[in-house]
Amino acid sequence: MNRLIKSAKRIFRSAPFAMQEKGSVAIEFALALPIWIVLLLGSSDASFLLILSQRVDRIAYSVTDIVTQSEMITLNDLDNIMLAAGQLMEPFPFAAQGIVVVSSVYKPVGQATKISWQYAGGGSLLRASKMGVVGSTPVLPNGLTLNDNDNVIIAEVYYAFTPLFINAGILSAKDLYRVAIYKPRLSPLITPPT
């Protein structure tokens, strides 16, 4: 019986189809390898984008929350808050790739809603507020409308996203944009900071 098994193994090893099977595995691997590489690079870039997006969200909500806890806000306070915003982004760079725009929006009795003041800082990225400029009627996010004597603080965060594998062409460079809106807790913050 052992002799029969040994001779069958010898026949199968020397058969021409055994060589063909080895070649087909190599061809299948060569065909599947580019797909695996694209999946690996794409999932790495997508994970990187997700992490950055969460950090930008955190900056928007944290900055707005801190500003609205003040009775009165100064330029020095805003400068310190922007330093904290950069630290929330660590280990990723924020100074060169991001900016935070803080706006105070107020609706006086019987008048149109206006932007009372704006402050931009935390980074050197050149982006303007999507709501408008000081003194203008703002384009408020999500269809927000204010009642008479309402005041809100809005933080807009921009971050210039660059994929890890930009040459792969899977994801393209773009701006991450997040906005957070809070109402001041202790007093209206309609006076421009000094």
Length of the chain: 194
**What pLDDT score was predicted for residue 163?**
86
Cα angle vertex 143, ends 141, 145, to 5°?
100
pLDDT digits (tens, 9 = 90+) for 104-124: 999 999 899 999 999 999 988
pLDDT digits (tens, 9 = 90+) for 10-21: 655 655 555 556
Cα angle vertex 22, ends 19, 24, to 5°?
110
**What pLDDT score was predicted for residue 115?**
94
**Would you say residue 154 has pLDDT above 70?**
yes
Domain residue extents for the chain: 19-182
**Would you say residue 169 has pLDDT above 60?**
yes
**Would you say residue 47 has pLDDT above 70?**
yes
Prediction pTM value: 0.78
What average pLDDT score do residues 158-167 get? 86
**Would you say residue 50 has pLDDT above 90?**
yes
